[in-house]
Amino acid sequence: MSNEFPHSHLLGVEELSSKDITAILDLSESYISLNRKKDKKKTILKGLTLINLFFENSTRTRTSFELAGKRLGADVINMQVSSSSVQKGETLLDTAATLNAMHPDFITVRHPDSGAVNLLAKKVNCSIINAGDGSHEHPTQALLDALTIRRRLGKIRGLTIAICGDIMHSRVARSNITLLKTMGAKIRIIAPPTLMPACPEILGADECFYNMSEGLKNVDVVMMLRLQQERMSGTYIPSEKEYFHFYGLDKSKLSNAKKNALIMHPGPMNRGIEIDSELADDINRSVILEQVEYGVAVRQAILELLAERIKND
Ligand code: NCD
């Protein structure tokens, strides 16, 4: 198994090969079935400790890591650290050293600073899983998004996927572009000029659009993003009303995509700003709740693969 997944941490999708990604997605499939059963318990993490260390708010990610760990038999501890009380740098490393002294086996970390999770991984001797660092990476989100797409459309290779909204501040966009490109998809990014990075080509997308209707032409998947207000200093959009008019997903813009194109959003979503409520709730097109469901399975798969290495050490 350690040959199948040759990593001690999950810091980003950048370090994952298509073989690694396929191994994670394949294993996740078995957890989707398990999670739909009455008895969801396994004991493969028995005796191991998982700490969820969150310096930013989270509903989906933290809960699903907690469920994933508990369903596999680990002891799980949640630490919600208020970001305002964090003295950046030193405090993060002090926290890491403190937790490390308690011999956890995994720490999942969410932090507002890009790169903080990689730094922490150098200071501890357990497996670190990135649960989102600033605008940098959110690997488990990209994995669960890939799983959702693969299950619904049967493949990833050859699909055209549009990622729309606050590209500039989004770790979901960065991780998805890298992962979906590795798996052979064609990626378009769509954003207002103020929310598009100055050099969009460095993100690795195939095409970049400022007009949403043009960008959505014939796409297989429409992935919407939340406006990351907490990462903005100053005003990036004239008004929420105008943003929805030009960049919110509504029926008229969606009509440019393929007839059965999937609608995705990592959540939490701002209805009527990023996405029309009716589309978000459209049970035939929107896969937003499937993304949440598969998020637990993907995190179980990651924990299992990392645990194999812990046991073999
Ligand atoms: C994303 C995140 O935190 O980056 N949410 C999530 O993990 N479900 C997206 C977001 O907050 O916009």
CB count within 10 Å of CB 156 equals 25
Atom of ligand 1 nearest to the CA of 131: 7
- Copy the structure tokens of residue 91: 């405090």
Which residues contact ligand 1 via a Cβ below 6 A? 60-61, 132, 138, 141, 171-172, 226, 266-267
Q: Which pLDDT tens digit goes with each residue over 185-237?
A: 999 999 999 999 987 788 999 999 999 999 999 999 999 999 998 898 878 88
Q: What Å distances lie between residue 161 and 34, 111, 154, 216, CA to CA?
A: 29, 28, 14, 9
The answer to whether 278 touches 143, Cβ cutoff 8 Å, is: no
Q: Which pLDDT tens digit goes with each residue over 98-129?
A: 899 999 999 999 999 999 999 999 999 999 99
Q: Which pLDDT tens digit goes with each residue over 50-77?
A: 999 999 989 899 999 999 999 999 999 9
Among 133-142, 168-177, 201-210, 250-259, the minimum mean pLDDT is found in 201-210
Question: What is the average pLDDT score of the chain?
Answer: 94
Whether pLDDT at 257 is above 50: yes
- Copy the structure tokens of residue 64: 């699903």
User: Whole-model pTM?
Assistant: 0.96
Q: According to the model, what pLDDT value does residue 87 have? A: 58
Separation between Cα atoms, residue 87 and residue 293, nearest integer Å: 35
Q: Count how many Cα atoms sit within 13 Å of the Cα of residue 275 in the half-sphere of its side chain.
A: 25
Q: What confidence category does residue 85 fall into, taking pLDDT thresholds of 50, 70 and 90?
A: low
| Distance of CA 1 from the midpoint of ligand 1 (Å) | 30
